[in-house]
Amino acid sequence: MSEPGAGEPQPPWEPPPEPEPESGPRPNAAPGPAPNPSPWTPPPEPESEPLEPEPEVPPAPAPTWQLPPDPATRPLPDLPPVFAAPVPLPLPLPEPPAAPAFATPPESPKSPEPPPPPKHRLAAVGRRTASVLGRPWLLALVGFFLVAMGWAFASPMSTSPDEPSHMIKAAATARGEFVNSSSRHEITNGFEKTWLGYPLPAKYKTIDAMSSCFRFQLLSAACGKKFGTDNSTAIVETSAGNYNPAYYFPVGLPSLWLPGVSALYGMRLASALLNSALLAAAVGIAAGWRRPGWPILGVVACGTPMALFLSGTVNSNGMEATAAVLAWTAAMSLALDDDPKPGQVTRRAIGLAIGGALLANTRSLGIAFSASVLIALVIIAGPRKVAWLARFRAVQVMAVVLILGGVAAFLWNRYSDTLTTSNLSFPTLTPGAVAIEVFWNSGNYISQVVGNLGWLDVALPPGTSIAWYAVAGLLILCAFGVGRWREAAVVAALVVGTVAIPIIAQVLEAKRFGIGWQGRYILAWVLGLPVLAGLLMARRVGKDLPGALERRVPIAATIVLGLAGLGAFYWSMTRYMHGGFKKYGISPVLWSPPGGWIVWWVVYSAGLVVLVAAVAVRRRQDILR
């Protein structure tokens, strides 16, 4: 029996439909035997090699801004790097990175170190000393004060010209006594004096007797009387009553609280400090130049024995001279410096304002001397530079101060003229006779500029005068040699004025007051010569002149002047200790200053050494360094 359909034609074969892929077993499918496969299966297709999956590339992190690594906090190489988390752009500026975790922990506070050994202390002292030595104005303040203090104690009381009257005037001014209570007039040695009375302690009447016994005669100061002790109020007369109080008020302040003769020495020290400060300010301005040796020498050369002697005693001539030195130094620095810094212009303007105002308010000729300084400034600087300087606020303030100071001095002079009005006159003193007499006395006046101490009864030794004339002549000749025509004209005017001003002043005043000129009255004019000469040399040294002139000549000249001044100091002490000039050395003395003469000789010598150190500074050092 054949199978059904056997022998019948078969339909063409079709492959069965591929089953749909199932992701998993069908739900609720009953388990059972696998279906019977078809009797024919297609030949298997050759299997293709499976493709290797591409390695996944991690997304690049978003750029982040970081500060460049600090070498001090760079991570160690054996530590894994730390990546910053991606931040969406735009990025804000992050804070500076904090110190990493492996940074060195802060050190714990240490206990205070023990004091350094002595060698470190010596090094600190050396640094402080070097700092002081680099400030010429400070050296000058110390040096000038030591020299003036030597004069204050080594000179017997009331032995500078008219010092009793100046001390009485200072004591009265410090007590507010500006208006006199009485007046009288007298003629002494052909010159009129007006005596004004002020209520003061009666002991001030004894000041004149402290030196009257050895004045104008070769006697020791041992005969001088002691300062009085009577504190009752009395009218005490002074010939300086009509003088401007600008100098006398600060100088007289020590008399308010110091007892006995200490009040007189206190007034001398106050005068010494005031004048030393003015000279130190002038040195500070001179030290602002690129080559300060010559400018400082010009200021130091102004310290003639006469000027320093007056600075250490009570006399308004001392401040007139020192204020003039400050005014000349500041004014000529403004005029001659071709390339000043704004700070230098300010300091010089302040110096000129102070010096010019004080100069105008010292004596009756102070206004004329202050005006002459300004005229010299305008002539040397020229109109263009004057206009340029006028743009500075400090210069404008300076002009206002000088105008106010001049007005105050003019008003005081008008008031003082009413104090000296008298019916006395000198009709026989014709202008021609006065001019001839004063001209023939010009040599004496010039020698008094260098020094004629005491009441013009202690002439200096010849060596001192020769040394000062030599240095002054050197400076004047150098100024003529290196100055332009306008500068040389001012130098010539100063030289001629030294002789002409006394003649003019005495011709105008001789009929009222007689002939009473002294060389110290022209100090404020003459001292402009060394200042101007030193500044002119500073401008040319190093350009047209060898630099050795800046290093050697100022120091050598200062040493020469210092030795000459030391000789004058010892010469003056010898006169008062022995009553003459024939005994020297440590022979027994008849009079000795407080503390002994050796102490003040050492003090004076120390001041001279300090001044030489101030001149030896070779680099610019402004006053407010």
pLDDT tens for each residue of 196-243: 889 999 999 999 999 989 898 888 889 989 998 989 999 998 988 889
**Cα pseudo-dihedral 401, 405, 407, 408, rounded to 10:** 140
- Taking only the tens place, the pLDDT of each residue in 120-164 is 454 444 445 444 555 888 999 999 999 999 999 999 999 999 999
Round the CA-based radius of gyration of the chain to a whole number and report it.
47
Residue 529 CB burial class (10 angstroms; 0-12, 13-18, ≥19): buried
- Taking only the tens place, the pLDDT of each residue in 107-126 is 555 555 555 544 445 444 44
Where along the chain do its domains lie?
135-164+252-615
pLDDT at 166 over 70: yes
Q: What is the mean pLDDT of residues 19-40?
A: 48
Q: What is the DSSP letter of 24?
A: S
pLDDT at res. 554: 87
pTM of the model: 0.77
Q: Helix (H, G, I), strand (E, B), or coil: what is residue 484?
A: coil
| CA–CA gap between residue 38 and residue 162 (Å, rounded) | 156
| CA–CA gap between residue 105 and residue 182 (Å, rounded) | 86
| CA–CA gap between residue 308 and residue 272 (Å, rounded) | 9
pLDDT at res. 552: 81
Q: In which band, very low, low, confident or very high, does the pLDDT at 549 lie, cut at 50, 70 and 90?
A: confident
Q: Where are the alpha helices (DSSP H) in 514-596?
A: 523-526, 528-540, 548-551, 553-578
User: Greater confidence, 540 or 431?
Assistant: 431
Q: How much is the mean pLDDT over the chain?
A: 80
